[in-house]
Amino acid sequence: KKKVIDYLIKRKIKNNLFENNKIIFEIDNLQTKKIIKIIIPINKKKDLIISSNQKNSFEHTELNKKLTINTIYKENFIKNSLYKSAIDKKIDPNIIVQFAQIYGFQVDFQRDIRKNDSFQIVYEVFKNEDNKIVDYGNILFANLILKGKSLRLYHFSSEKDKVNDHFEPNGQSIKKTLMKTPINGARLSSSYGMRKHPILGYNKMHQGTDFAAPTGTPIMASGSGVILKAGWCGGGGNCVKIKHNSTYSTVYAHMSKFARGIKKGIRVTQGQIIGYVGSTGMSTGPHLHYEVIKNGKKVNSQTLKLPSGKKLKGKAREDFELAKIKIDVLKSELINSQN
């Protein structure tokens, strides 16, 4: 044992071990219990192999586990919240988070979703040799049907075209300058249409959008930019203000705490976690108060028309059309296999 520990220290091999991690030892009982091999999990996809060599010492290597990719189709009506309707169909929270993030540019998960809206989703899972799901891949197809209108999105990845994103059927990227829902919308626990009222109530002076969510729900930077403030804002409690460009700034208030490293002058990227939902300052309960400031004036973030991301053209558009057909065929096959 000491030889193994000395080897790990000498080679500066660091590996985090967690509760219930399974470590495999291969031992030669004929040689006073000499260790032949140790297999330590690095993550779900990789193992660290430490093995004895001819020089009565050890050597190590990292080995990728044999994983197979499977695709899964799920659909459901939304009776309460998106999160609950997805959990009811045994969709993993990691996938729900990804689903909420890709729609965060165009959907307000608390106000846009109504009873009997629905969703369809095709996503990837990685299975090990025991046929157990060990990781999740991309959402290949998503459709959020709101008031009978489909918001279909397709995943398209191409190293040649330097693209890895979700696109609308016309090849338009879903990304916009600012996200409509700068919060992990999957965890919005309130029923559709519910609105959180601050202590002062809503009136003409109230400008901004409030998202009711459990304390600790991650808050994301709705766009890339530089932090102008990360501190106490009086009635706004713990708040962050981000300057995105010469036109737009955003404010996030009532945080329980800031994310690690978030302070004035730091550059953040769109979707980066900047803090967590709380009820600090003048607040009746945990919620995010979110403001968009355009040219120095507060504007309604939910009706604001923002510049969209790029639209695929030329060869990239042709490649996307082919990928879209393949995904549609795959979706049909998965639906048929369930029936």
Q: What is the pLDDT of residue 250?
A: 96
Q: What is the pLDDT of residue 199?
A: 38
Query: Could you tell me if 142 and 174 are in contact, meaning their C-beta atoms sit under 8 angstroms apart?
Result: no
| 254: Cβ contacts below 8 Å, ≥ 6 apart | 236, 237, 238, 239, 277, 278, 279, 280, 281, 283, 286, 287, 288, 289
Tens-binned pLDDT, residue by residue, of the chain (339 aa): 556 666 666 666 666 666 666 777 777 776 666 777 777 776 666 777 777 776 666 777 766 677 889 999 999 998 877 888 888 999 988 898 889 889 888 887 767 788 889 999 999 998 877 788 878 889 999 999 998 999 999 999 988 878 899 999 999 999 888 988 888 765 554 433 344 443 333 333 446 788 888 889 899 999 999 999 999 999 899 999 999 998 999 999 999 999 999 999 999 999 899 999 999 998 888 888 999 999 999 888 878 888 788 899 999 999 999 999 999 999 999 999 887
Rounded to the nearest angstrom, the gap between the alpha carbon of residue 5 and the centroid of all alpha carbons in its chain is: 37
Percent of residues in the chain assigned helix, strand, coil, to nearest 5 = 20, 40, 40
For residue 258, the number of C-alpha atoms closer than 13 Å in the C-beta half-sphere is 16
Query: Could you tell me if 310 and 262 are in contact, meaning their C-beta atoms sit under 8 angstroms apart?
Result: no
C-alpha 307/C-alpha 234 separation (Å) is: 33
Q: What is the pLDDT of residue 18?
A: 64
C-alpha 146/C-alpha 213 separation (Å) is: 21
Q: What is the pLDDT of residue 42?
A: 66
Helices (H) and strands (E) in the chain, counts: 4, 18
Q: What is the pLDDT of residue 275?
A: 96
C-alpha 215/C-alpha 257 separation (Å) is: 10
C-alpha 113/C-alpha 96 separation (Å) is: 15
Which residues, listed in sequence order, are joined to residue 209 by a DSSP beta bridge? 290
Q: What is the pLDDT of residue 200?
A: 37
Q: What is the pLDDT of residue 12?
A: 66
Rounded to the nearest angstrom, the gap between the alpha carbon of residue 142 and the centroid of all alpha carbons in its chain is: 15
How far, CA to CA in Å, does 233 sit from each of 271, 272, 305? 23, 21, 28
Q: What is the pLDDT of residue 172?
A: 93
Sheet architecture: strand order including 149-158: 68-78, 117-127, 133-146, 149-158, 163-167
Q: What is the pLDDT of residue 204?
A: 36
The tokens for 306 are 């923002």
Can you say whether the dihedral through the CA atoms of 167, 172, 177, 179 is positive or negative?
A: negative
Q: Collapsing DSSP states into helix, strand and coil, what is residue 300? A: coil
What one-letter code names the amino acid at 296? Answer: G
Query: Could you tell me if 50 and 10 are in contact, meaning their C-beta atoms sit under 8 angstroms apart?
Result: no
Q: What is the pLDDT of residue 195?
A: 44
Q: Collapsing DSSP states into helix, strand and coil, what is residue 201? A: coil
C-alpha 294/C-alpha 307 separation (Å) is: 13
